[in-house]
Structure 1
Amino acid sequence: MDATTKPLRIPPDMATYAEKHDIFELFQTLVRSLVVDKPADPIQYLIDMLKRENTDVPRVMLLGPPASGKRTIAKKLCEQIGTIHITASNILKDDSDLSRAALEYTEKNQEIPQDLWIKLIQQRLSKADCVRRGWVLEAIPKTREEALCLQEAGIAPEHVVMLQAPESVLIERSLGKRIDPVTGDVYHVAFMRPESAEVAQRLKRPQSLISEDVIYRQLQGFHREAHALQRTYKNCLKIVDADQAHVDVFAQVLTFVLSRHRSSAPYTPRILLLGPPGSGRSLQARLIAQKYGLVNICCGELLKAVAADESSMGELIKPFLESGRRGKLPHLLTLTRCQTGHAPRRAEASAYVAYLESPASVRNFCFWTNN
């Protein structure tokens, strides 16, 4: 690295190493935690953070209108990925001074002050189980103001799921909702009945079952805040249609939560073009390489170039090319990659676009790029 040149020239293998070991994401996580938590001793804070068994735990917010299926999806999601299910009710059940202060407001049918509510959420999410296993916040936050307060407190989700369904469907679900008093699971008399007859017999109507007019007003209240919440979490949000089979809704939510967001860190593009003869692979590869400054690799041309060399490697490759047995060449491709000055060696220090001629070449290329 030339320290006299600005900007500093970073060796190409540095980017490859950083991408392989998620160095950029690690620095992003550390800096974000420092800025949010503002520890008195930053060095010791970072050391303690790196000593944790797992700093990359699920942090999910599951939002949606009443009767959209949040509780059912949240419970199944936590069972599947092993995270802690957090709701407004179980936050208030914590035995702490903050929760007791909040209960005084709820007993008087008064709204809990925003700052107290944020401290309660922060207190619950800072406990060891949430730190170690991650969390799923159900129906929190409810407003954009609350979402911004959570961000100021350092509570930032990795994934936000918002369930949506037509109002007529949600009203029908609300009126037919039933609850298992033993487990707290939510069912419906028409859409989601329990498989067990024993569970079906003990289902109860919710004590707070309300009229259709009240449900409609609640839905209107949610819709007023929904667009603002979507803007707040637009970079990590997925909207899921809840008016479909429960298993399909859960599958979409689970797939999204298990996915990783594209990092803003630099990365090395690697493009593989496949297609039958005459499909324009070589032309497209050449145009892509020219536009984005990539190394253009044709495996067939590469092998021919090596075979034309008056070298021991070329002599090894010639019989395979003459007999058309390119599928038997993975070890030779690896040797070519390591021992010659052709395109593969340059590709190690840069991005590349490659196009292949046959399924056998695909196997060769996969072997080549993974070794």
Structure 2
Amino acid sequence: MRLIFLGPPGAGKGTQAKLLTEKHGIPQLSTGDMLRAAVAAETDVGKRAKAVMDAGQLVSDAIVNEIVSDRIDSADCLNGFILDGYPRTVPQAQALDEMLAGKGLRLDAVIELKVDEEALVRRMENRVAETIAAGGNVRSDDNPEAFKRRLTEYREKTAPLSEYYSSTGMLKTVDGMADVKVVTEQIGRILA
């Protein structure tokens, strides 16, 4: 099972990916985690990524694509994987399609969690209030202004993936505003 989850920050992609990971024994592949692992392992591509990051620059699509390709070749991905945070753009999606085809693989589904952005902002504000009330630490990007910027960036850069995957027939949508259990059931029906 090879999947991509789409949806803005806070839509519940991580929650649903974790549930599928536990149920099917396939890894959730986060771009950030893959980058850090490649740098820590000092692979050739990891060294190139570290040099770029140390220079304060963004890692290129070519480097990210290579890191994803290497990670997909890992033994724990033999039965599939869930991509989290990749692809972020249509060019990355096209590169992923080529990469998978070159490996004799294809995606099984691209699942988009549709959400109301204003409700997401309210959710984030409640989560921050609950975290503070419980004496926990709040992430630096968990504030309304930063969260709204992340939503805007998602709309501008990542939302076009919906159109791309819709045109390929791969896109399936679920109501991300529903209860976690209901979303899980909707995803289960898509994957059945």
Structure-2 residue corresponding to 1:75 = 18
2:155 alignment partner in structure 1: 223
Deviation string, structure 1 residues 72-98 (Cα, Å, up to 9, x no partner): 111111111111111012212131221
TM-superposed CA distance for 1:203, in Å, is 4.7
Letter in 1 for 2:130: V
Q: Please give the alpha-carbon distance, in whole angstroms, between the structure 2 residues aligned to 1:82 and 1:110.
A: 35
User: CA shift at 1:204, angstroms?
Assistant: 3.3
Query: Of residues 138, 142, 165 in structure 2, which corresponds to 1:233?
Result: 165
SS at match of 1:157: coil
Q: Deviations over 1:118-156 (max 9, x none)?
A: 00000000111102x210111211111111111122264
Aligned to 2:61: 114
Shift of 1:163: 1.1
Question: Are the counterparts in 2 of residues 175 and 209 from structure 1 also a CA contact under 8 Å?
Answer: no
Candidates 31, 35, 38, aligned match of 1:88: 31
Which residue of structure 2 lines up, in the alignment, with residue 244 of structure 1?
178
Residues 129-144 of structure 1 mapped to structure 2, 5 A cutoff:
129-131=76-78, 133-144=79-90
Change (3 A) 1:176 1:110: farther
- State the aligned residue count: 181
2:46 counterpart of 1:99: yes
Query: Percent of counterpart pairs with the same letter?
Result: 25
Where does structure 1 lack aligned partners over 5 or more consecutive residues?
A: 1-57, 179-187, 191-199, 260-371
CA deviations on 1:13-44 (whole Å, 9 max, x unpaired) are xxxxxxxxxxxxxxxxxxxxxxxxxxxxxxxx
Identify unmatched segments of 5+ residues in structure 2: none
TM-score, with normalisation over the residues of structure 1?
0.45
Structure of greater Rg? 1
Contact conserved, 2:10 with 2:124, CA < 8 A, in 1?
Answer: yes
CA distance in 2, matches of 1:176, 1:109: 33
User: How do 1:1-371 residues align onto structure 2 when only pairs under 5 Å count?
Assistant: 58-92=1-35, 93-94=37-38, 95=41, 96-131=43-78, 133-154=79-100, 156-177=106-127, 189=130, 203-206=136-139, 208-234=140-166, 235-257=169-191, 259=192
Q: Amino acid of the residue matched to residue 84 of structure 2?
A: E
Taking structure 1 as reference, are residues 176 and 97 closer, same or farther at Cα in structure 2, changes over 3 Å only? farther
CA positional deviation for 1:108: 3.8
Is the Cα–Cα contact under 8 Å of residues 161 and 238 in structure 1 kept in the other structure?
A: yes
Query: Residue 141 of structure 2 contacts residue 147 of structure 2 at CA under 8 Å; is this kept in 1?
Result: no
Structure 1 residue 201 displacement after superposition:
5.9
Over aligned residue pairs, what C-alpha RMSD do you find? 2.4
Query: How many angstroms apart in 2 are the aligned matches of 1:217 and 1:159?
Result: 28
Is the alpha carbon distance of 1:227 and 1:72 closer, same or farther for their aligned partners in structure 2, counting shifts above 3 Å? closer
1:154/1:175 CA distance change after superposition, 3 Å: same
Task: Give the counterpart letter for 1:138 in structure 2.
Answer: D
Say if 1:143 and 1:120 are closer, same or farther in 2 by CA, change over 3 A.
same
1:294 match = none
Aligned-residue offset at 1:202: 7.7
| 1:67 CA displacement | 0.8
Letter in 2 for 1:70: K
TM-superposition CA deviations, 1:290-332 (whole Å, max 9, x none): xxxxxxxxxxxxxxxxxxxxxxxxxxxxxxxxxxxxxxxxxxx
Structure 2 contact 93–161 (Cα < 8 Å) conserved: yes
Q: Which residue type is aligned with residue 160 of structure 2?
A: A
Secondary structure of the corresponding residue to residue 162 of structure 1: strand
Q: Are the counterparts in 1 of residues 3 and 81 from structure 2 also a CA contact under 8 Å?
A: yes
Q: Is the CA contact (8 Å cut-off) linking 1:66 and 1:174 kept in structure 2?
A: no
- Distance change in 2, residues 1:78/1:203 (3 Å): farther
What SS does the corresponding residue of 1:140 show, helix, strand or coil?
coil
With CA pairs under 8 Å and 6+ residues apart, which has the higher RCO, 1 or 2?
Answer: 2
